[in-house]
Amino acid sequence: MTRPTLLLILALVITVPLSLLAGRVWIDPFHPAIPNATAILMQLRLPRAVLALVVGAGLGASGAAMQGYLRNPLADPGLFGIAPGAALGAVLSLYFGYAAQGFLLPAFALVGAGSAMALLALIAGRDAGVALFTLAGMMLASLAGALTSLAISLSPNPFALSEIVTWLMGALTDRGWHEVAIAAPLTAAGIALLWTARRGLDALTLGEAAARSLGIEPARLQWLMVAGVGLCVGAGVAVAGIIGFVGLIVPHLVRGLTDGRPSTLLVPSALAGALLLLVADVVCRLLPMATELRLGIALSLVGAPFFLALLLRMRKGLA
């Protein structure tokens, strides 16, 4: 195991228990005076923390893989159009009022993510280069975004409208073991697929032609990317809504600790993504506001200035 991996695991080992104690109701581990402390911990905070770790790990790993695949530090897992596809599925379930059934919203979101993945897979392996393939993903993203807006504008009643808008912001509020059971296996499978793509991503450091001369099969790599990113992002959106910027920021936070190859970035990015989402969720929980700040909004508030700073630093590096 590498040093950044160990450091991040250590940070998680410290942060996870602390995060369980923090919230509207603080729990003192030594004098659990609150009567239903166990229920709060086991039924509310633990599943929420686990979900933050799972979703964050998926977003972090897909972000690292996407940046490696596109050889671009500004790439984001949303570029493939899978997250907007999943969001469209979820929004449709809210639009039709199915979401009262707990499992239907995630199911719709997963179908949306799966459809986006299937469309991408149709394009993948057809001798489409990285750039063309990504453009196809961006077209999918804007199509799904337009259809989502259409569903919002046609929403049958103000309740559905408010549900859709709130859900789109992304949050981990009131999630339970149910959502963990959906997201964890899918995310684990996605990260495993991205891990098998690591050598291909390393080879792409040298460009597409050199990567192929090193024995990398571009069609297989495209499949692994679609399936890996799709599972991670689709599962994340299905249980938490759209949470932006994690996949973009996290690889930058850990890249300096690695030797620069995408393969050495995957695991640290997954761990750092998990850590970032966990901490951000705790902060949202603690902020003294009338309603809890939505996680997606909080991360975008932090993420946008970070992104700007990154752009400025890159411009300075080029000058």
Partner 1 sequence: MSAAIVTLAAEALTLQLGTARVLDGVSAGFLPGEVTAICGPNGAGKSSLLACLAALHAPTQGRVTLDGAALSALPAQARARAIGYLPQAPEVAWSISVETLAGLGRLPWRTGAVEDAAAVAAALAALDLGGFARRSVATLSGGERARALLARVLAGRPRWILADEPLAALDLAHQLALLGQLRVQALGGTGVVLVLHDLALAMNHAARVVVLDAGRIVADGPPEVALSESVIARVWGVTARWLGEPGARALSAGGGIDR
Q: Which residues lie near partner 1 (CB under 8 A)?
A: 71, 199, 202-207, 209-210, 212-217, 255, 259-262
Report the nearest approach of partner 1 to the CB of residue 269 (Å): 14
State the nearest-atom distance from the C-beta of 210 to partner 1, in Å. Answer: 5
The pair of structure tokens assigned to 81 is 């159009």
Q: Closest CB to partner 1 among 252 and 294?
A: 252
Q: Which is nearer to partner 1, 192 or 210 (CB)?
A: 210
- The maximal CA–CA distance of the chain, rounded, in angstroms, is 65
Nearer to partner 1, 93 or 222 (CB): 222
Q: Distance (Å, rounded) from C-alpha 160 to C-alpha 101?
A: 14
Under 8 Å CB-to-CB from 286, ≥6 apart: which residues?
Answer: 22, 23
Q: Which amino acid is at 208?
A: E
Which single residue is written with the structure tokens 């959906």? 182
Select 178 or 199, whichever has its Cβ closest to partner 1.
199
DSSP state, residue 176: -
Q: How far is the CB of 314 from partner 1 (least distance, A)?
A: 12
**Shortest gap between Cβ of 202 and partner 1 (angstroms)?**
6
* Type of residue at 261: R
Residue placing its CB nearer to partner 1 in the complex, 203 or 243: 203
Q: From the CB of 212, what's the least distance to partner 1, in Å?
A: 6
Task: Judge whether 94 and 105 are in contact, CB under 8 Å.
Answer: yes
- Alpha helices, H only, the chain: 3-21, 37-39, 46-70, 82-95, 104-123, 130-153, 158-168, 177-196, 198-204, 208-213, 218-240, 246-255, 262-286, 295-318
Neighbours of 155 (CB within 10 A): 18
Encoded amino acid at 135, one letter:
L
C-beta of 71: minimal distance to partner 1 in Å?
4
CB nearer partner 1, residue 150 or residue 210: 210
